[in-house]
A and B are shown apart, each in its own frame.
Chain A
Amino acid sequence: SQQGEEDPQALSIQEGENATMNCSYKTSINNLQWYRQNSGRGLVHLILIRSNEREKHSGRLRVTLDTSKKSSSLLITASRAADTASYFCPYNAGNMLTFGGGTRLMVKP
């Protein structure tokens, strides 16, 4: 598969806890991106990490990239009910992004 494969498929946590999602891919990449999709809405870009970067932060988000293992992780700290959404990690190995099935995160109040 050319897609970024997210793991787990579903995750349920309590508000305030941290959420960690993982992503694997199979080819060399230019960059890897994380997107969030709230129910009934389009995808929203969260963060982009380039192939020569190992870690990136944005607010409560922390993304790591391990090109030797062809994997990435997204950590959301101090989760909120509003973080309930599906999260995707498409990667770019050419001119376009291909998406996997995503991780469905539920944050319970």
Chain B
Amino acid sequence: DARVTQTPRHKVTEMGQEVTMRCQPILGHNTVFWYRQTMMQGLELLAYFRNRAPLDDSGMPKDRFSAEMPDATLATLKIQPSEPRDSAVYFCASQKGLYNSPLHFGNGTRLTVT
């Protein structure tokens, strides 16, 4: 079964450090989403890409977050510098085609910033 792979699964870091999360979408899927999940805010869309081009990153704090797709098999989400309020589970999801296709989620990166 093809699936979305996220690394690392868990990350604990100190405030001020850079954090990089990686996502390998399902081969052939041309749309990639980054979501953040917290108890208070639920699932928030941070950014998404289609055919590697960023289409919307309005959900992302621009001063510290950046998202890229260096190639079709890798999406990255970076936080620099990290803050305790960034503690959350970050999910990557990929989709084939357009809006009538389901999203396939990875199992997330649980980030703790102390």
Chain B interface, >50% SS class: strand
State the interface size on chain B (CB cutoff 8 A).
22
Would you call A26 an interface residue if the criterion is a C-beta within 8 Å of the partner chain's C-beta atoms?
no
A42 & B108 in contact (Cβ 8 Å cutoff)? yes
* A: number of interface residues (CB 8 Å): 23
With a cutoff of 8 Å between Cβ atoms, the chain A residues found around residue B102 in the complex are 33, 45, 48
Q: Which single member of A48, A96, A99 contacts B56 (CB below 8 Å)? A: A96
**Chain A residues whose C-beta falls within 8 Å of the C-beta of B55 in the assembled complex:** 95
> What residues of A have a CB within 8 angstroms of the CB of B29 in the complex?
none
Given A42-B4, A101-B42 in contact, is the A30-B106 Cβ separation under 8 Å?
Answer: no
In the complex, the answer to whether B33 meets A96 with C-beta atoms within 8 Å is: yes
Which residue of the partner chain, among A30, A41, A97, A101, contacts B107 with CB atoms under 8 Å?
Answer: A41
Does B103 lie at the interface of the complex (its beta carbon under 8 Å from any beta carbon of A)?
Answer: yes
Measured CB to CB, the nearest residue on chain B to A47 is B102
Interface string of B86-114 (1 = CB under 8 A from A): 00000101000011101111111000000
The reply to whether B105 and A44 contact each other, CB–CB distance below 8 Å, is yes
Given A42-B108, A43-B91, answer yes or no on A97-B42 (Cβ-Cβ < 8 Å): no
Q: Which residues of A contact B99 (CB under 8 A)?
A: 30-31, 92, 94-96
A96–B105 contact, CB under 8 A? no
Q: Is B45 positioned at the interface, with any CB of A under 8 Å from its CB? A: yes
Q: Tell yes or no: B53 within 8 A of A by CB.
A: no
